[in-house]
Structure 1
Amino acid sequence: MTADLTGADRAAPAARRVLAQARFETLAVLRNGEQLLVTLIIPVVALLALGRSSFLDVGTGDAARIDVVTPGVLGLAVMAGSMTSQAIATAFDRRNGVLRLLATTPLGRSGMLAGKALAVLVVATLQVVAVAATGLALGWRPEPAGLPAALLALVLGVAAFTALALLLAGTLRAEAVLAVANLLLVVLAVVGGVVLPVADLPSWWAAVAQWLPPGALGEALRGALVDGAFPAAHLAALAAWTLVLAAAVRRWFRWT
């Protein structure tokens, strides 16, 4: 005869396991000073600096400076939280054997990935709220008609940059990921077309940058929130990059 399983012996339902993992991942980010700096503090400081000072020329056309800068900083926040923070955390979890250990628990690989995805979305929501609140306090007035398209751009941006984070974390050594992820954030923020409109970049590079993930995200957000448009081409580019990067993760990600 088999003994009845007690409550302590039974695994929690899958949904509860995923939610518990998501809670753990979210708190790990919010309790880590370095990650909190990257995900929340730097984007808000960047918005304050770019929105109120003129040390960096930003092409605004007929729009107010803060109206052009805020969508770009929203994109920067998504990059910081979805790419840099997740790449570093996952890489060190992989090096320390945490990924391998969790994959053998009832949570499993799919549950762990689902928990990470939910945590990224929670952190991204906090980032958007913090940056948007700061922007509104500085006089930002987004076009209401563009809000649905902007939300879609943010979701696609989170998906694309999370996939890029997992690709880095699953193929490089943890120490290399630490350097590459931070360097990528700086380079893409400066010349990727996310913070600055691609029109401010050299013409030869602007033609390319607007179709790369950071440029497509920045242009989609500015098109939606400044012009109230539906930037279908740049949203399609983000969706395409998400699929390509997800396929690369599926092919090359190593758990150990």
Structure 2
Amino acid sequence: MVRSQALMELRLLSRNGEQLLLTLVIPLLLLVMGTRADTVVDLGPGRPIDILTPGVLALAVLSTSFTSLAIATGFERRYNVLKRLGASPLPRWGLLTGKVGAVLVVESVQLLVLTSVAQLVGWEPHGGLAAAAWAALLVALGTAAFGALGLLIAGTMRAEATLAIANLVYVVLLVGGGLLVPLTRYPGSSHRFLELLPSGALGEGLRATFAGHAPETHSLAVLALWAVVAGVLANRTFRWE
């Protein structure tokens, strides 16, 4: 049942042009502009493309596993799609798992395209296979955290409220959530707050990984904590209608 649900979710995601714009086109535009990023914001020492690319990958995870998932699920509730699924043998956890499974497939394509384009414009990741393994773990934890948060919002609020909140969170985290700009570049002690957010933890973790270092335990712990807490809340509070 979970496999069938995941395949259906994947077909629905692939047919939605607006969501594809959010999940792939915007990160690609930011990536291509990366070679001139220092003309807009100070990214710190190092080549802008090497600093920006991990952040763009983190943004892709946010856009797919949180914003796109929350909006799609919210409107499925509004149009009674989930109500019909609720009358089937599919359990609540099966619905949530199927949705996250489809998100992981879309993210795999996203990250493959983005990393290929990044290398074409000069990105030079370090760390080899170890970096790839750490990145996979970070993406999995980030997907679980953002996906659970997206389903928590979509499963408890009206579709219009979900649309507004999901887009607002996307813009806020894109601009000042520690995704694209290293936390050390933020003024004062604001970086201590941002490193507690899943966006800050994922962005910093991927930057450290592709710089050739293991991600800090703090980043992994923050993502895991958000994933567990939001996942439990989503499973308990998600309403089919």
Equivalent position of 2:69 in the other structure: 86
Counting only pairs closer than 5 Å after superposition, residues 1-256 of structure 1 correspond to structure 2 as: 17-61=1-45, 63-143=46-126, 144=128, 145-256=130-241
* 8 A contact 1:102–1:109 mirrored in 2: no
RMSD: 1.5
* % identical equivalent positions: 45
- Counterpart Cα distance in 2 of 1:108 and 1:43: 34
Find the residue that maps to 1:203 and give its secondary structure: coil
- Counterpart Cα distance in 2 of 1:55 and 1:230: 28
Per-residue Cα deviation, 1:154-174 (whole angstroms, up to 9, x for no partner): 110000000010011011110
- Counterpart Cα distance in 2 of 1:165 and 1:113: 11
- Counterpart Cα distance in 2 of 1:153 and 1:140: 20
Structure 2: gaps spanning 5 or more residues: none
* 8 A contact 1:88–1:174 mirrored in 2: yes
* 8 A contact 2:92–2:235 mirrored in 1: no
- Counterpart Cα distance in 1 of 2:176 and 2:37: 20
* 8 A contact 1:93–1:99 mirrored in 2: yes
Partner AA of 1:113 in structure 2: L
* 8 A contact 1:146–1:230 mirrored in 2: no
Structure 1: gaps spanning 5 or more residues: 1-16
Normalized against structure 2, the TM-score is what?
Answer: 0.93
Structure 1 residues 69 and 154, CA gap change in structure 2 (3 angstroms): same
- Counterpart Cα distance in 2 of 1:239 and 1:121: 17
- Counterpart Cα distance in 2 of 1:224 and 1:42: 23
Find the residue that maps to 1:172 and give its secondary structure: coil
Partner AA of 2:138 in structure 1: A
- Counterpart Cα distance in 2 of 1:179 and 1:124: 23
Instruction: Tell me how far 1:210 sits from its aligned partner.
Output: 1.2
Per-residue Cα deviation, 1:43-80 (whole angstroms, up to 9, x for no partner): 1111112234543224242x321111100000000000
* 8 A contact 2:183–2:195 mirrored in 1: yes
Whichever of the two has the greater Rg, that structure is 1
Per-residue Cα deviation, 1:78-102 (whole angstroms, up to 9, x for no partner): 0000000000010011111111211
Normalized against structure 1, the TM-score is what?
Answer: 0.88
Aligned length: 239
Partner AA of 1:132 in structure 2: T
